[in-house]
Amino acid sequence: MAVSLRSRRHGVGGDVRAGCHGGAGGRGGTGGRAEALPLGAVARHVPPPVRVAVPSVGVASSVLRLGRNADGTIEVPGDWERAGWYRRGPRPGQVGPAVILGHVDSTSGPAVFFRLDELAPATRCTSTAPTAPS
């Protein structure tokens, strides 16, 4: 999955961008570009993500399903320590850019994505889908 983060840490705006290449449940990042499926190919079913992890910066979070607010803006997680997936876009592992959102900081200190600005290109991250019942 590709990660693009708009950071407002400590009241200072700036873009933080890092390529995060998927592990279990995700294809490598596409730089935000959707890839065309080969002629006759069928998109495979990919379950929605339930967890996201970026071990190198200490991210391990369950994933909320997010949509849009009444004014058309994208929802953000109400919990500072949880990430969210924009459910109107592709799922991690499907063709196209999957959007995972989270806060960098909160009114009381660091939040789930506080250390994302430390990511280097090609950092390993994973999204996890629910397991099938046995």
Q: pLDDT tens, position by position, for the chain (134 residues)?
A: 444 444 444 443 333 444 455 544 443 333 334 445 555 555 568 899 999 999 999 999 999 999 999 999 999 999 999 999 999 999 988 888 899 999 999 999 999 999 999 988 888 888 888 876 54
Q: Supply the pLDDT for residue 42.
A: 53
Closest CA to 61 of 17, 102, 26, 33: 102
Q: CB neighbours of 113 closer than 8 A, spacing ≥ 6? A: 5, 59, 83, 102, 103, 104
Q: Supply the pLDDT for residue 8.
A: 45
Q: Supply the pLDDT for residue 106.
A: 94
For residue 47, give the DSSP letter. Answer: P
- C-alpha distances in angstroms, 101 versus 67, 132, 134? 11, 25, 31
Q: Supply the pLDDT for residue 60.
A: 94
Stated pTM of the model: 0.68
Q: Which residue has the tokens 């950071």?
A: 7
How far apart, in whole angstroms, are the C-alpha atoms of residue 125 and residue 28? 10
